[in-house]
Structure 1
């Protein structure tokens, strides 16, 4: 009989193995070895979701499924001993939601507080927002906290989570005062994610160690206090609120752009989406920021080219980012598309862009960027189909690329091009031909067509004239 190899594994290795298994499979490992018998009782990482319940279809018997889910959680916590470092719970999937009594959640949270919990993820959907029990705010062992679909009302004496480094709040109800006290009380906070907060209209952040900020919400204003370490910022403002403060900036001498970037020169990655650029453009837009964003190397920005102030704000960011390496722009084709930007992107060497080749204005916008980026080396293009655009193909007999689009005044210096998801449209082929014809130092072009591509595409690629003798066109056929 072969020796039992499992029994000789150290306990911390066994615990690590079990931590990667669903809870029901971890419990089933008791039969593998005598040493593994009830080893899952000491698991430091507990994850409960709808996959915990097996052999019961929730659509057929939702009541039985609910009861089974509650039994599993209660049973595991009852038998468990030792610290619980990670606790995650999600009571729904895309087809079913478990009904969990609020008293049960209260009891589970009370159970966790005395177990040295460091990471708590509570994604529990209830018809009425679940109010987090006050006792949770006394848990000073927390380092990571992620809450969804609940109501936060910290006790009046709450002074923050002193060890918390990561906080994520989604669809949370919380007052303006409690929100500000929560953030300012977490002195070690490094990562903050906010989405759809009810009760908060002003995003006021006091977090001296904050490095990562992610906001997708609607707010009137955003203000920082002693928050100088930010390196990654993503803001998706879902709508623009014409608040009194923004109105005063529009008619006065202050500037949202200057206020936002004041003492924040260390941002490395910045995403400005939806209406956030409109917010930044409120008030006076400087030609260049007084303190350059020398660390900014990746900028993703959404521009409405019908709004001159948004264009000015975007150009201000470009002028203020001397070391920018990667630029992603969306909504390029709105408004008048210039042949070339008034200020060239001389430091841009990598561009990733999505183009609808049924839209001539989007193609014009992409070409504008190419003409305005004399030192571009890497170009990544993803073709997309927009159901709301007016198809321009098949193209009329009078169409001529050279008469529709201007050739570049100077050669395109790109070294590597990747084009994904094309289907063989005439405008796609003409765009590829344009790149091959005006890129004298091109080394490699990778073409990844759609699954249902026309065979003429390969023939067209082979026949195209290339300005660069070293240009290699690599055709990668998708499977399907």
Structure 2
């Protein structure tokens, strides 16, 4: 074939993949899903075992559940971990194991122990329901990020703590209050704590001097943020807090640095007896800039009085979100005496207000009116009207348009979208 008619691709070196430097191959493999990284072993002899040097590995159902798979998933899983245990060279830094869909996981304890012999810094385990967490996890002193899902955690024999751990996430786990407290207090560098614990816990105290973000949802008797001087973001949106006479001041006694606070008042303090006086913080939280009130029942006197007392305790609040909740469809036809407690509160720094799930009830309109009248630097108020029919929307729009506004710059925007929440 004449030179000018040759295929340009023939000018490439045939073994160009083989000639790639090791660091380039490593860079390629680390960006691939684990199963794809393993498949590169067919490219050439040099690539055959290169995946064994991966520092990040994810094992999930995509490896042992395929359309043409004739093996039982549990058997396939056993075969895979056997090969990995033989071939993996390490050091393995980031490891994710998702076996939540397997009814049984033979050899999982020994495999996890094998993996943890590496210098693991990030460990994520999704285990079958009610399975027991391998105690070898508590021996991994190099961990910086630990995420456990759907397992039961029992006290190890000799746990000295995670000296380097900076993030801990426990979701759908079963654990005692004492063990949870112990684990947290033995993580001196912990910065992020995320707990989703559906089974009832006793009172827990959070002793974490480096903690900056704390998110909790679940069932608990009480929570006390005991030693958290650097805590900036807090979300307490659990299903139920059982203690009716909760000392609210103790919850935030050590939280002088909080900037972002999200609370579900109805879940935590709405169970108080009728006529029970809502507590008021004996101190101000001057650092709070954003406050989210979730599922606030505007007809519940206790919830309202507590919410108002909280708002009084945030003198430098800049952003307020209120998610309205109506349990009784016939409620809200009269003005609330508790809401009148906002009349003498001036929100001197409040710039944005968002009110969700508005359906035009009297108490909602009263709340909107009071907030507009007491926010002198307000820039905008967003009112979610997705629950309203056209006639009610027009009525609400006309009424709000006539409300006086302390801020001449304030604009009211009517939106029609769901509030997205992230845990």
CA contact (8 A) 1:280 1:313 kept: no
In the superposition, the TM-score normalised over structure 1's length comes to 0.72
CA distance in 2, matches of 1:406, 1:339: 20
Offset from partner CA, 1:72-99 (integer Å, 9 cap, x none): 333233211121111112234xxxx223
CA contact (8 A) 1:130 1:150 kept: yes
SS in 2 for 1:218: strand
Offset from partner CA, 1:296-324 (integer Å, 9 cap, x none): 11111133333333323222322222322
Match of 1:79 in 2: 87
CA contact (8 A) 1:345 1:374 kept: yes
Aligned residues: 393
CA distance in 2, matches of 1:413, 1:108: 65
Report how far residue 370 of structure 1 moved: 3.1
Q: Can you give the 5+ residue segments of structure 1 that lack an aligned partner in the other structure?
A: 250-255, 386-390, 423-480
CA contact (8 A) 2:188 2:210 kept: yes
Offset from partner CA, 1:350-372 (integer Å, 9 cap, x none): 22332445767545544443334
Measured at CA, do residues 2 and 371 of structure 1 come closer, stay the same or move farther in structure 2, by a change above 3 Å?
Answer: farther
Report how far residue 220 of structure 1 moved: 1.3
Measured at CA, do residues 10 and 240 of structure 1 come closer, stay the same or move farther in structure 2, by a change above 3 Å?
Answer: same
CA distance in 1, matches of 2:215, 2:184: 14
In the superposition, the TM-score normalised over structure 2's length comes to 0.80
SS in 1 for 2:72: helix
Measured at CA, do residues 280 and 268 of structure 1 come closer, stay the same or move farther in structure 2, by a change above 3 Å?
Answer: farther
CA contact (8 A) 2:358 2:383 kept: no
Report how far residue 193 of structure 1 moved: 1.1
CA distance in 2, matches of 1:14, 1:51: 23
Report how far residue 16 of structure 1 moved: 3.6
Is it true that 1:299 corresponds to 2:291 in the alignment? yes
Matches within 5 A, 1:208-227: 208-227=209-228
CA contact (8 A) 2:168 2:190 kept: yes
Report how far residue 46 of structure 1 moved: 0.8
What value does the CA root-mean-square deviation take over the aligned residues?
3.4
SS in 2 for 1:120: strand
CA contact (8 A) 2:372 2:405 kept: no
Match of 1:329 in 2: 322
Report how far residue 376 of structure 1 moved: 1.4
Match of 2:180 in 1: 179
Matches within 5 A, 1:258-337: 258-273=249-264, 274-278=266-270, 285-286=279-280, 289-290=282-283, 292-302=284-294, 303-331=296-324, 335=332, 336=335
Higher mean Cα deviation, 132-141 or 340-349? 340-349
CA contact (8 A) 1:297 1:323 kept: yes
Measured at CA, do residues 228 and 339 of structure 1 come closer, stay the same or move farther in structure 2, by a change above 3 Å?
Answer: closer
Measured at CA, do residues 51 and 41 of structure 1 come closer, stay the same or move farther in structure 2, by a change above 3 Å?
Answer: same
CA distance in 2, matches of 1:183, 1:407: 52
CA distance in 1, matches of 2:42, 2:156: 47
Higher mean Cα deviation, 187-196 or 45-54? 45-54
SS in 1 for 2:154: coil
Report how far residue 121 of structure 1 moved: 0.8
Report how far residue 260 of structure 1 moved: 1.6
SS in 2 for 1:237: coil
CA contact (8 A) 1:358 1:392 kept: no
Q: Can you give the 5+ residue segments of structure 2 that lack an aligned partner in the other structure?
A: 1-10, 418-423
Match of 1:434 in 2: none
Is it true that 1:100 corresponds to 2:104 in the alignment? yes
Is it true that 1:2 corresponds to 2:12 in the alignment? yes
